[in-house]
Structure formats: structure tokens, C-alpha cells
DNA sequence: GATGAATGAGAGTTCATTCAT
DNA sequence: CATGAATGAACTCTCATTCAT
């Protein structure tokens, strides 16, 4: 890789980071390209060498952040080593929630911008197939599920939505107090989809 | 109520309606106050006699729309007449989902803008205490629940989030096919919170 | 007419005049809307209350200037009182050339921007039908012409094109020395189209 | 001529051709140096090794195109072999009009950009003295003319201006129908300048 | 010679807000 | 109360030009 290419990649990452700072502190609508360029220490025109416009940047940022989050969570599950699908899913969610708690701006940004459609697009662009990874988890120990994709969808939407105000505003309760009940609900949902052998 | 006041109320409602049309068709960011005033047939300056700015209007609109939706759902439950809390909650959700299906713009608008905090503010401003109403439903037949408020929060967040892409994009499936599984999940969540007697 | 309307009309005329000054001194391409607004003593945004963009203004300006020019020339012919069509046409051209000589910027502006198509559009928008007026001149004394419209087209294009460098740069000769030869050519063209009575 | 110089000349011609394509399809104002360089397959910076700026290129292009056109027309006249000056001038104009008809973009480009001054500059820069060539034609058979240069000027301006909308828009008629009348006018102009021998 | 990343001035345009009528 | 002309800051995006490689 040439010096120039390397330099460009670094500058792109710098722009993504700067934009994330600004998007999460002032909001996307109130963040101008001038702001981003200035904060990143480049000329306004340079921005357009890297992104088509603010929304191009936004999309690339979502993809990037979602991917980092998932990579971390999948790794956490693998390190934990349990073979029970339910426990692995809970561990996955727990890791994600912990990350969100650590950086609530990430939650605010992803949650406000991540739709199911965007999520899938992000997964497509990624090198690793995270969805497939999650499906492998669900099949651990030979377990099978009714309407597996819908179950996943339900869980993702529930956790994504419910975590928002809990993490950001501790409303209606704080995360530590909500987690047991949230996980109990997740287990109940999984139970409702489980195919019993016998 | 004087004629003047009446006239004012009518103009305000006209502005709210116009804004809803524009917000849901062009998006809030791309709707200008000029647009709203012009569409509503008033002068730009007049807008400021009714709202502080676009975001003041937006908030009042959310509250208004959420209230209409809830009033309708509560009435639907009362007309149905079942005494089983679970069935009543399902009926309530079913009515809301049906309304959303009928007017997906409403879903898009509320979902993108309604947070738990805003929802509670809306409820506070309303004349009827809908939350109390729901709690009465939950207590039908003397039933009691662990962490009743958290259970409600969980259900509302789940249904709100999961309905979005299902209703608007039929993704991952269409609403009719998703409903049974969604309701099964809701029942599972309630089951997980139920206090058994005896 | 209300005070406001009057004021607006005056401001529009002021903008047209300012734009003409700038267009003819710096060229259209190098004249920005900022320039026009600043020179006219209004805010940049105000420009857009009067014109869609620079090219809207330009077109309105061409129409306006062409109309003034023609009105003047037609009046000059009528005051002169000759009945010979050839002499009347020459008088018409002479008046236009004199005006151009008086304000060469006008020539530069019109010539660079007036095509046959634009000219006809301008005539359409005008209240008076100048083309019709010219045709009446040609028919004075019962005179008839072969391909009358083509003859007119030829004369207009010749005079328009040939006057440009003569008036603006006295190149290849100055206007006074060129006029006799130009008019001799015009008469020759007319002669070539004349229908002789028999 | 060294390899390097040859290479440079080829690159310059490539730039001229590319610019002509772009100028005539998008217009000069909307063609950027980036566009030209990209289309020509060179780096933006390289452009400046060949031309000072867009307008330098534009001027060189006009000169080049005008010269090609005239060379072709002069050759056509020489091949035809008539000795009558009038017929030779008509043949010259006919060839130019035919070329314009074949490539209307050429007409649009030259006509919008060629003034008498630029034309003469082009002729000066050329190796062959086309003006002298034309004067020789006029003197064929010992014919003499009053104000010969003004006559030429008049004819060139007439044909240049009148061909524009006829060729490009078939307005007010198409070229084939206009030609007889145009040539009749040209002959009338020449007649008006002819010195009859006694 | 050739490159193309970087620059930054400046173009066009929009719009919330004000205020004289 | 209502108006809408006027404002001017702020925005997005373009592009000629430079210069280190």
C-alpha cells in the first residue's frame, strides 16, 4: 500500500471519528459539513474527496459502528464458551448493552439511525456474515426454532428499543435493574419459539 | 368560547394537519415554515402567532396524534368486553397496529419521534389518564403482576419497534403473518411477569 | 395600485438596471448574484423574491431592452412620414444603429444574447406586435415581396451581425463610413425580393 | 521532431478534441477543467502544462476550427474550377454551409465565439493567408470592386449570422430552402459593389 | 514531465425570523 | 390580528489552482 493511500485511509477514519463526535453531541441536522471539516482540520472542499455528502458519511458511519459492535459481541460469546443457545444469546445481548452503557452516544446514534433495512445492508457490506454467526449460535446443541428469523427480529427490535431510554435516561429504571427483566422477556420469547424434541 | 378563540383554534388545527401532511410526505427536515404556512393558506408571519417554531409545532403534533391513537384503542378494548387482562392487552395492541396499518404515515411519524419521555409528557397533558386506564385493564379479575410498569414498558417498546419495518416495508414479513408471533411473544412476556395465586 | 406593489415594481426595475450595468461591464458569466444585490443595495436573499435565478433575469432583461429599442425605432419611422417601404426600412435600421452607437453596451448585450428565437419570444410577450408593424411598412404603397419573412430575417441578421464590430471597435471601419455601404446592401437585398408590377 | 515533442503535440490535440466535445455538448460555462482532463485521460495538473486556463484553450480551439473550415472551403473552390468571382464566392460559402450542416456543433461553437477580431487573429496565426486567397478569387478575370474589404465583411457577417438559426433550428426555414434566397442576397450585395468596366 | 490530493474562495440558494403596514 | 417583503446568516457544493511526490 502506497504512502498516499495510507494517508487517505487515515484521513477518512479521522473524518468518520470527527463526524461521530459532532453527530452525537449536536445532532446530525445541526452538524454542517463546515463543522466536520473544521473540526477534522481539513479544508471544506477536501470533505468531498472522501464523501459524496453528509448522508453518505452518515451511512458509512452507521455501517462501521454497527460492525464494530457486533464483532465485539460475537467475540465475547465465543470467549464465554457456553453451549446453551439461550445463554449465548443473552451473553451477546449483555455484551452489546454493556458497550452501549460504556458509550451512550453510540446507542443514541445507532438507535436513531439503524433500521432493520440499514442493519441488513451493513451486514451485507461487512466481510464477516454476523447473521450467519448468530444462526450458528441458535443451532448449538442441535436446538431448532420455529420461525427463527422472526424470533431474531423480535429480540433485536425489543432490545434495541427498550435499551434506549433505559441507558440514556435511566427511565423508567436504570439498566442494572432492568436487565433481569429484559432477559427474562427474551428467554420467554425464545421459549415461545422453541421446538421441543421428543 | 368567543368567535375569535374559535377561529384561532380552527387555524391552529389547520396548521397541525397541514404540517402532518408535509412532515410525513417530505420529512420534517425538508419541510419549511414557508411550506406549512403556504399550504395552510396563511401568511408566513402568522405562523408565529400560533407556534414558537417548527419544533414546537412538532411536539404538539406528536402529543395530539398519540392521544388520538390511544383514545381509539382504549375504546376498542372497552367495546370488546373481555375480562381477561391478556386478551385485553392484545386487543389494545391489535387496534393500534390496525390503525398504523391504515395510515402508515402515522406510524412513521410517531415512531421516529416518540420516545418514552415524550409519550409520558403526552399522557400528562391529556385530560384522560390513559396509563391509569391500562393499569386498570391489567388488574381485571384481580390479576397482579411483578414490576408491572417495566412489563408495560417492555411491551410498548417491543410493539413500537417491531411494527415499524413490518408495517412500512413488509420486512422481514408482512403484518398479518407477523402478528401471531408478535402476540405470542407479548403473551410470553406477560407470563414471565404474572404473579400466580394460590 | 398599492404602495407595496409600486415599491416592488420600482425595485425590480432597479435590479434590471443594475444587472445591465454589471452584465455589460463585467460580462454575464463573471457577474454574480451577490454582485447584483450588493450594487442594487438589497440583501442577497431579496434577489430571489424577484427572479428565479440569473438567467431568468437575463431573459427578462433582453426582452425589455429589445422592446424599448423597437418602440423607439418604430416611432422614428412614423415621425419621418415617408411612404416608400425601402426608405422606411432604412430609417428604421438607421434609428436602431444610432441608438446602438449611443449606447454600445446595449449592442454588446443584445447581440451576444439575442437569437432569432429569443427575439420572437420577446415580440410575443410585448403588448405591441412589432413584427406586424414592420410588415405594414413593407406593404406601404401596395408594394409586395417574394418570401417577405425570409427577406426580413436576412436583413435583421445582416444588420445585427455587421453592426457589432463596426460600432464597438470601429473595425473594419467606423459606423459613419460603413453605413452607406450597409444600406446599399440592404437595398440590394430588398431589390432582389421585390415583386415588380406589370 | 523528437519523440517527446511529438507526444506533447498529440496530447495537446487530444485535449483540444476533448474540449470541443464537451464545450459543444455541455456548453463552455458548464465545462470544467476537471471534466476536460478526466475525459482526455490525463491528470488535472497536467492540463496546466498545455494551456494557461480554459479560455486559453478556447481561443486556440476557435483558431484551429476556423482554419480547418477555411482550408476545406478554399480547396473546394479550387477543385471546382470556375473563373467567375461571384460563382467562386458562392461555391466557397456553399462549402462552408455544407460543413456546418454536417456538424452543427461546429457552427454553434464558432458562431458563439468568433468575432471579426478573433477571425483576423486566427488568420494571422495561420501559415496560409486565407484572406489573401479570397482576394485573389475576387480578382479573377480582372474583376474589381468598390470597398472590397467592406464587401467581404458584409458577406461574412451576413452568412455567419443568418446560417445560425437556419442550420441549428430550421428556423425560419431549413437550409435547403433558405440557400437560394441567401445566395441571391449575396449576389445582390456583390452587384452593389461591382465596378463595371467601361 | 506527470500526478492528483488538497485547498479555500466564492457561487447559488434557502429559510427562520422580524417588523412596518 | 394578519400580512408578506425584506433580511442576512448559514448552508451545500464547485472548481481553478498549487505543490509535494
Q: DSSP readout, B70-118? A: HHHHHHHHHHH----HHHHHHHHHHHHHHHHHH-HHHHHHHHHH--HHH
What beta strand segments (E) does chain B contain? none
Q: What percent of chain A is modeled with pLDDT above 90?
A: 66
C-beta neighbour count of D156 within 10 angstroms: 18
**Å from B189 to nearest chain A CA?**
5
Spatial contact of D86 and D187, defined as CB atoms under 8 Å apart: yes
**Is the Cβ pair A147, B188 closer than 8 Å?**
no
Q: Quote the distance between the C-alpha of residue B118 and its chain's center.
A: 11
Q: Look at the domain D1-51 and name its fold.
A: Arc Repressor Mutant, subunit A (1.10.10)
Q: Which segment of A159-173, B94-108, C42-56, C119-133 scores lowest on mean pLDDT? A: C119-133
Distance CA D134, CA D136 (A): 5
Q: Which residues pair with D194 in a beta bridge?
A: D145
**In a 3-state reduction of DSSP, which class is residue A194?**
strand
pLDDT for residue D105 is more than 70: yes
Q: Given this model, what pLDDT does residue C10 score?
A: 87
Q: What's the pLDDT band for D111 if we cut at 50, 70, 90?
A: confident
Distance CA A111, CA A104 (A): 10
- Rounded to whole angstroms, the distance from the CA of residue C49 to the C1' of nucleotide F3 is 16
In terms of Cβ atoms closer than 10 Å to its own Cβ (0-12, 13-18, 19+), residue A62 is: buried
Spatial contact of D61 and D23, defined as CB atoms under 8 Å apart: yes
- Segment C15-33, tens digit of pLDDT: 999 999 999 998 898 999 9
Q: Which residue has the higher pLDDT, C3 or A177?
A: A177
- Rounded to whole angstroms, the distance from the CA of residue C46 to the C1' of nucleotide E20 is 17
Q: Which residues contact residue D186 at a Cβ distance below 8 angstroms, ignoring those fewer than 6 apart? A: D89, D90, D93, D155, D158, D159
Residue nearest to nucleotide F19 (CA to C1'): D45
Q: Given this model, what pLDDT does residue C163 score?
A: 94
B46 touches strand E (CB under 7 A): no
Distance CA C20, CA C14 (A): 10
B and A interact (at least 3 Cβ pairs within 8 A): yes
Distance CA B20, CA B25 (A): 8
Instruction: Parse chain C into domains and list their residue ranges.
Output: 1-51, 62-193
Q: What's the pLDDT band for C73 if we cut at 50, 70, 90?
A: very high
Tell me the average pLDDT across A93-107. 94
Q: Which of A94-98, A194-198, B76-80 has the highest mean pLDDT?
A: A94-98
Q: What's the pLDDT band for A17 if we cut at 50, 70, 90?
A: very high
Residue nearest to nucleotide F4 (CA to C1'): B43
Spatial contact of B160 and B108, defined as CB atoms under 8 Å apart: no
- Segment D147-195, tens digit of pLDDT: 999 999 999 999 999 999 999 999 889 999 999 999 999 999 999 999 9
Q: What's the pLDDT band for A111 if we cut at 50, 70, 90?
A: confident
Q: What's the pLDDT band for D3 if we cut at 50, 70, 90?
A: low
Spatial contact of B111 and A111, defined as CB atoms under 8 Å apart: no
Helix (H) or strand (E) holding D194: none
Interface of D with C in 141-160 (CB under 8 A): 147, 149-151, 153-154, 157-158, 160
Q: Which residue has the higher pLDDT, B142 or A131?
A: B142
Q: Given this model, what pLDDT does residue C51 score?
A: 96
Tell me the average pLDDT across C154-159. 94
C and D interact (at least 3 Cβ pairs within 8 A): yes
Question: Please, what is the average pLDDT of chain C?
Answer: 90
Q: What's the pLDDT band for D2 if we cut at 50, 70, 90?
A: low
Q: Which residue has the higher pLDDT, D38 or D196?
A: D38
Q: Given this model, what pLDDT does residue C3 score?
A: 62
Nearest to D186 by CA among D85, D106, D65, D53: D85
In terms of Cβ atoms closer than 10 Å to its own Cβ (0-12, 13-18, 19+), residue C23 is: buried
- Rounded to whole angstroms, the distance from the CA of residue C68 to the C1' of nucleotide F4 is 32
Amino acid at each position: 500500500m502506497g504512502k498516499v493511500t495510507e494517508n487517505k485511509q487515515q484521513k477518512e477514519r479521522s473524518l468518520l471519528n470527527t463526524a461521530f463526535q459532532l453527530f452525537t453531541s449536536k445532532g446530525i441536522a445541526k452538524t454542517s459539513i463546515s463543522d466536520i471539516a473544521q473540526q477534522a482540520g481539513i479544508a471544506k472542499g477536501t470533505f468531498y474527496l472522501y464523501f459524496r455528502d453528509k448522508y453518505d458519511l452518515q451511512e458509512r458511519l452507521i455501517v462501521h459502528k454497527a460492525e464494530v459492535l457486533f464483532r465485539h459481541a460475537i467475540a465475547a460469546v465465543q470467549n464465554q464458551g457456553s453451549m446453551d443457545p439461550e445463554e449465548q444469546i443473552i451473553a451477546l445481548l449483555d455484551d452489546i448493552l454493556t458497550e452501549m452503557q460504556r458509550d451512550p452516544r453510540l446507542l443514541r446514534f445507532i438507535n436513531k439511525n439503524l433500521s432493520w433495512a440499514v442493519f441488513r445492508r451493513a451486514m451485507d457490506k461487512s466481510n464477516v456474515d454476523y447473521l450467519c454467526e448468530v444462526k450458528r449460535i441458535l443451532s448449538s446443541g442441535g436446538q431448532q426454532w420455529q420461525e427463527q428469523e422472526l424470533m431474531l427480529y423480535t429480540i433485536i427490535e425489543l432490545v434495541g428499543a427498550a435499551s434506549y431510554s433505559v441507558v440514556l435516561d435511566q427511565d423508567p429504571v436504570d439498566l442494572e435493574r432492568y436487565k433481569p427483566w429484559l432477559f427474562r422477556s427474551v428467554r420467554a420469547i425464545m421459549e415461545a419459539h422453541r421446538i421441543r424434541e421428543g
